[in-house]
Amino acid sequence: MLKFSTNKWTNLVVSYMALVGGFIAYNGWAPSLNDIKDDLALTFSEVGSLSAVTGLSAGIMILLGGLAASRWGTKNVVLAGLACGVVGLFLFSVAGGYALAITGRAISGFAVGLLFVGTYTLAAEWFQDDRQTKRATGIMMSGDGVGVLLSIFVLAFVLSAFGWRNGLAIEGIIVLVMIPIVVLFARNVDNRANATERRQTVRRAGKPILGSWSGVKHRNVLIATIYWCGGVGLLTLITGWLPAILVDEAGWSESTAGFFSSMFSVIGMTAAFSAAFLTGRAINHKTLILRSGLVIVGALAVLTLGLAIGNYVVVVVAAPIVGLGLYFGEPLALSMAIDSVDDENAIGLVNGLVIGVPWLTAGTLFPYTLGWIRDLTGNYTVGFALAIVVIIGLCVISVLFLKPVSVEPQDTSTPLQESV
């Protein structure tokens, strides 16, 4: 068992599975958003706040999870995330009002945060010595597609068949099953040559954290974080709100709305695989990321036009194109941030910053603002039009300041070893 679990691909598969569990915790309620709103007598602003608090708690835990992964092991972070997912889903399923519902969503946000940083860090650590972080992050990015497809399409049938309360409880059981799999097959990376030195460093109170923070002070880490703010904001709008829009405005069924909304991530994950396997070290990633930002803005403008004229076929055609641009640019931006940092112990912090800050900011503001504008104006178009302006700054203008990184293959004489 131990020998099998040292394989980097095995750990990547386990990380991928746990990441999908995070999307169940985050999006599992979205297909029944309108039913939940009516059952709990919520306003659109309150519904938006349920997504907002999830993003807020996710961002906080991603930042804390980055520190925890650096000090106590990435595997423990993943396990903690799955446990929070189970608790959050079960609490939400028994909520009788807004208070318990938002508590359940907050705990689910803890799950999202811990699982995002934990799974990405575990994958990156196992591939860093081969200088293949781009491949690992690209594959992990494709997990968004699988996670979103499962949570807002496949599980929509469960919610429809058993009701949203029983459906969320079933989702909690699915996440619960993932815990023993992680316990048995996932392992932390430990380089034996540096293990003693790192353990001695950890004993010096405060110094490992300060050292890691100094190691992530690079322009590309900041730019990648800004770019991801746009990505996370759009993820919350399209996967969180679009199913409800298609049900409420277009009159589609939950499963149909969930299927077409999930295409944002499902089709987008093909771009993530392209970023992982079809881009070599000689390619200017800055140019590719910039082009992806332009694709995002153009497709988002078409989507907003579709909302304005009530043509929802245009909306569901444009949404996957937004995903293509987003999922191609995000793994490249993240891998550039990781490859810009020399301290291998700072990978967890880089992931925590690049993924965590966007959830803390955009993941909170985007869904709440859309709900608030919906209550104020009676439509969703104004909110998406505002998003276009914001995305231009986050995903286009910011990319102009990226600093190209030259990544050369490195031979390592010290193989990766496992530590439980």
Q: How far apart are CA 239 and CA 232, in angstroms?
A: 10
Would residue 274 count as lying in a domain?
Answer: yes
Would residue 298 count as lying in a domain?
Answer: yes
Measured over the CA atoms of residue 59, residue 60, residue 66 and residue 69, the dihedral's sign is negative
Residue 126: per-residue pLDDT: 79
**Could you read off the pLDDT of 152-164 as tens digits, one per residue?**
889 999 998 999 9
User: Could you list the residue range(s) of the whole structural domain that residue 234 is in?
Assistant: 2-185+211-405
Those residues whose C-beta lies under 8 Å from the C-beta of residue 390, and which sit 6 or more positions away, are 230, 233
Please report how the helices 347-360 and 312-339 are oriented relative to each other, as an axis angle in degrees rounded to 10: 150
Query: What confidence tier does 201 reach under pLDDT thresholds 50, 70, 90?
Result: very low
Tokens 């932390």 -> residue: 188
Residue 242: per-residue pLDDT: 92
Would residue 247 count as lying in a domain?
Answer: yes
Query: What confidence tier does 68 reach under pLDDT thresholds 50, 70, 90?
Result: confident
Residue 77 tokens read as 């972070």
Would residue 68 count as lying in a domain?
Answer: yes
- Chain Cα centroid distance, residue 82: 15
* Beta strands, E only, 281-385: none
Would residue 231 count as lying in a domain?
Answer: yes
Lowest mean pLDDT segment, chosen from 119-133, 293-307, 316-330, 372-386: 119-133
Say which residue, 411 or 127, is predicted with more confidence: 127
Query: What confidence tier does 412 reach under pLDDT thresholds 50, 70, 90?
Result: very low
Would residue 122 count as lying in a domain?
Answer: yes
Residue 318: per-residue pLDDT: 96
Would residue 47 count as lying in a domain?
Answer: yes
Can you give the CATH number for the domain in which 262 is found? 1.20.1250.20
pLDDT tops 60 at residue 415: no
Diameter of the chain measured on Cα atoms: 64
pTM: 0.78
H-only helix segments in 186-311: 192-203, 207-215, 219-240, 242-248, 254-266, 268-277, 285-309
Would residue 363 count as lying in a domain?
Answer: yes
Residue 311: per-residue pLDDT: 95
Query: What confidence tier does 278 reach under pLDDT thresholds 50, 70, 90?
Result: low
Tokens 């925890």 -> residue: 68
Those residues whose C-beta lies under 8 Å from the C-beta of residue 302, and which sit 6 or more positions away, are 314, 317, 318, 321
- Number of domain units in the chain: 1
